[in-house]
Amino acid sequence: MKVNIEMLAAIYKLGTAVVCADGNINPQCAKPLTNFFYGINGFNDEAMQRVVDYANKNESMTAQRAVELITDFDIDAKKKIVNLLADIVRAEGELSEKKLEMFNGARSLCGLPESDEPLVDNSSDVIPPTFLAAKTNGLAYPFMSEADDWQGLDADIAEHIGAERTEVVRFTAPLNILSKRLGLVDCHLVFLVDRNGYQKDDIGDNMTGTILYGSGHEILGNIVFALETDKGYELKGFTSARLIEDAYIAINAAVGNLLRLE
């Protein structure tokens, strides 16, 4: 991925926000940030000063602009960024609550994946495969499935949307944006619909599904959100409590807060 001065300034601005999160500018915390930049081939003091000036003096380089730029980075670049931020947080030895909060906020806003070495033990975050249903009336709820094959999973999901069979909706422009925002690695966000919904007269329009389909095509009936692997297109549930919570928040924001939890 090729980077320009604006992108480097966005990284500097985000990294500096984590360094200064608790109001204490510890040189030890800033060291991973400077090491990151000087590790770029050909980078020198003059280049560093240009980045700092752009981040601090250019009126267009707002915090929002930095988030927008980093959100659009590819997954390899995002992995480097999240590892950089994690190194900043752990630089003092003891984890600062404010820095950790800023780190988690940056991950959520920019759709960054997990760092290679998690900052905290997140074993309690692991949940059984869980899916998110969104009804035509705007109510949403999570449900679990222990099915270990497509036939069993299809039956479980079909039951929740009142269908005989389901169909997967994938790779629409809005879903692709959400997958990137959530920092998904080796998988993408999809939703499932009633395969025979258009033959039924008693199901209504699902505005959430219609918006996320993104082409003006009306989606009918209840839908279920899930993850699907990039290779093999295997359907799976969310296995992280935090990820499914982030997914609900991101989905709801994308559809104008039409959803509410049941």
SS3 track for 46-63: HHHHHHHHHHHHCCCCCH
Pairwise CA distance, residues 204 & 212, whole Å: 16
Pairwise CA distance, residues 173 & 70, whole Å: 19
Residue 95 has pLDDT above 90, yes or no: no
Please give the average per-residue pLDDT across 160-166, as a whole number. 90
Please give the average per-residue pLDDT across 212-218, as a whole number. 89
CB 217 within 8 A of CB 211: no
Can you read off the two tokens belonging to residue 189? Answer: 């966000």
Give the model confidence (pLDDT) of 52-65 as tens digits.
999 999 999 999 99
Can you read off the two tokens belonging to residue 173? Answer: 């422009």
Please give the average per-residue pLDDT across 64-93, as a whole number. 91
Pairwise CA distance, residues 47 & 123, whole Å: 41
Residue 111 has pLDDT above 90, yes or no: no
Reported pTM? 0.65
Pairwise CA distance, residues 262 & 248, whole Å: 12
Can you read off the two tokens belonging to residue 119? Answer: 């900052």
DSSP 181-214: HTT-SSEEEEEEEETTGGG-SS--B-HHHHHHH-
Pairwise CA distance, residues 220 & 206, whole Å: 5
